Amino acid sequence: MNIKLVVVGKLKEKYFAAAIAEYQKRLSRFCKVKMIEVRDEKAPESLSSAEMEQVQAKEGDRILAKVSEREYVFALAINGTERTSEAFAQQIKDLTTYGHSDLTFIIGGSLGLAPAVLKRADDQLSFGKFTLPHQLMRVVLCEQIYRAFMINSNSPYHK
């Protein structure tokens, strides 16, 4: 099984990088994990709606260039579906059971994901209505993917 995270922007904080590396190491017994960073667009604080759409579209093009047709894609979106950890684990188990061995998770930039990315996604996943820094969201996502594998292997980790 292959898990890919396509994320906008560079991870600068060493402590987030260390946490992600730890989860990637833990996940290595279950799957291959790959983190792909795409360049973010400069986005000053005061952008018009049209400028915001342009930024999203440019980042979206970079994201979509990293996604193949056969991948099952989760877009992280605030308006996506919230799940429990157990339901997420079951979904991953079901997907792999029915032939989806390449799962891709997309985390957009500070302005969110372009409509084209949301359209390409097979599912939209929400971690709630909170706004979290994108770097921290990477850590949270990696932990939840690891938790899902631990739940599916009947490990006590998730309790």
Non-local CB neighbours of 61 within 8 Å, separated by 6+ positions? 114, 116
Element (H, E) at 105: strand 102-107
CA dist 71 and 57 (Å) reads 21
Task: Tell me whether residue 76 is annotated as binding.
Answer: yes
Task: Tell me whether residue 99 is annotated as binding.
Answer: no
Q: Are 76 and 108 in contact (CB under 8 A)?
A: yes
Token pair of 27, please?
Answer: 């996940």
Token pair of 74, please?
Answer: 């989760």
Number of Cβ within 10 Å of residue 126's Cβ equals: 15
Q: Indicate the annotated binding residues for S-adenosyl-L-methionine.
A: 76, 108
Q: Indicate the annotated binding residues.
A: 76, 108
